[in-house]
Chain A
């Protein structure tokens, strides 16, 4: 075993340190990327996604982890926009259903006032109105729930974008320069020395 250790100790010095702090860069990139896409329509977002996909594919980058993260984040933002655009539609539909229920109620009240004997109240008389109001509630609840879905999608997109830039960070010139400059032969020697205590004691 001593021979093996000796061979290792005789090996070449090397190793490195450090990494630039990519946290801030990652956060800024994620915010910018997300904000830039939040002010466009879903259709425009999907157009950007397919353009981005084609650009990455051209240079063979669409399968690399960082670029794949960006594409997936872009897709999630498009999904979020799809839900975002649906919210006013749900609210409008809820308003339409509620208005329709009110219209039916008004018709019944008018007819009842005109002919209190002929137009009678009975269980299930306002079944349609109740159904309309129930549908309206569903529409509003769906719109409300979509708010959470959007927040989740955006948060996941944000996480992926941060991951992407952190991965890009390790290819960055600053990162490479720091790693190459910081050869720490002393540290490596010390790391090797840590095992020396485990060698059998010479009798």
Chain B
């Protein structure tokens, strides 16, 4: 049986619309949060969008937001937020993956990945054993919280620590994350990003992924 033109086209449009709905959800959630903080009883979206400003809305529509949402969704999907053994496996796997990548670059005698990321950036993404222990202990104790540096390491393959920091500031300004602390910034997701990303995945699969997130067969 061959795939029909309509099926392929439908798939392409569903990918596009799932993505578009994801970003619309992000901007909508940001507007709601902004309106609430301004004490608005009813949110006038146009007014709020004007207040937030075009530059910030563009930032909220940036692909980095999607990357972080995807990462947080996967963390939740794999129950790493409160399963310390699995979390340790993942974090150690992260280091192994980066080390393998670095070793490959060394063998090939090149300082850059295929997509142009310098080896030094990858090296900065390696987690120290203390960082791993701290995250695992916290996951054991009260559920996973990320400190900004560790999250920067985990996302090092995709964005620089400075970009991660700016992204976290942006998202915490609009109620997607809690970013607290003076020296070490502790990040906790408030669940909106995971839900919106789950909606997106669910749309592609034709299933409600979010409601069954805890019961997905392992």
8 Å CB interface, A85-101 against B: none
User: Given A19-B163, A186-B115, A195 and B90 touching (CB < 8 A)?
Assistant: yes
Chain A residues with CB under 8 A of B216: 1, 4
Q: Is A63 an interface residue (CB 8 A)?
A: yes
User: Given A10-B15, A64-B53, A19 and B162 touching (CB < 8 A)?
Assistant: yes
User: Given A170-B170, A186-B115, A187-B115, A15 and B89 touching (CB < 8 A)?
Assistant: no
Q: Are B157 and A184 in contact (CB under 8 A)?
A: yes
Assembled-state Cα–Cα distance A182/B113 (Å): 12
User: Given A1-B218, A16-B62, A63-B51, A184 and B201 touching (CB < 8 A)?
Assistant: no
Q: Is A185 an interface residue (CB 8 A)?
A: yes
User: Given A10-B204, A179-B62, A186 and B163 touching (CB < 8 A)?
Assistant: no
Segment at the A interface, from B71-79, B132-140, B141-149, B184-192: B71-79
Assembled-state Cα–Cα distance A16/B68 (Å): 11
Chain A residues with CB under 8 A of B71: 191
Q: What is the number of residues of chain B that contact chain A, defined by CB distance less than 8 Å?
A: 51
Q: Is A188 an interface residue (CB 8 A)?
A: yes
Q: Is B64 an interface residue (CB 8 A)?
A: yes
Q: Is A11 an interface residue (CB 8 A)?
A: yes
* Closest Cβ–Cβ distance, residue A192 to chain B (whole Å): 7
Interface centre among B64, B159, B218 (most CB of A within 10 A): B159
Q: Is B130 an interface residue (CB 8 A)?
A: no
Q: Is B13 an interface residue (CB 8 A)?
A: no
Residue of A nearest to B50 (CB): A60
Q: Are A17 and B89 in contact (CB under 8 A)?
A: no
Q: Are B159 and A17 in contact (CB under 8 A)?
A: yes
* Closest Cβ–Cβ distance, residue A5 to chain B (whole Å): 8
A1-36 contact mask (Cβ, 8 Å, vs B): 1 or 0: 101100110111011111100000000000000000
Q: Is A197 an interface residue (CB 8 A)?
A: yes
Residue of A nearest to B63 (CB): A14
Q: Are A15 and B159 in contact (CB under 8 A)?
A: yes
Q: Are B66 and A14 in contact (CB under 8 A)?
A: yes
Q: Are B113 and A11 in contact (CB under 8 A)?
A: no
B residues adjacent to A (C-beta < 8 A): 15, 19, 50-51, 53, 55, 59, 62-64, 66-67, 70-71, 73-74, 77-78, 80, 86, 89-90, 93-94, 97, 101, 113-117, 121, 155, 157-160, 162-163, 166, 169-170, 173, 200-201, 204-205, 209, 216-218
Q: Could you give 6 example pairs across A and B, Cβ below 8 Å?
A: A4-B201, A7-B204, A11-B200, A171-B55, A187-B115, A188-B67
Those 5 A-B pairs whose CB atoms lie nearest each other, nearest first:
A14-B63, A19-B162, A187-B157, A186-B115, A187-B158
